[in-house]
Structure 1
Amino acid sequence: MSESLAPSEPPPSTARQRRRTARVVLAHLVRGLAYGAGTAVMGLLAYWAQQYL
């Protein structure tokens, strides 16, 4: 009979996959925040330009 992992420990490949997925989700979140911030800045610049030029 082969030794099995303890029930509370996921196999190494699952833990690795979870870390990779978390890293990808974080990268998408940061990218989205950057796009949102850029869009907000450009919108404020456009508003300012319309008001003062």
Structure 2
Amino acid sequence: MLAEGFTEDDVDRVLWRNPVAFYGLSGRLELDVTTAGVTHEGNSILRGGA
């Protein structure tokens, strides 16, 4: 995207902020950086409570 002339803000919005906002609507997305390296059922991606 950068090579095509998009700004770093555009790339950050499309690849990070928009997905976080979308998945955050479920209330199950946790972005607590203090849990880095913690796994859930053998997977490094944490999931919110059900």
Shorter-chain TM-score: which interval? 0.3 to 0.5
TM-score by length of 1: 0.35
**Which one has the bigger helix percentage?**
1
TM-score by length of 2: 0.37
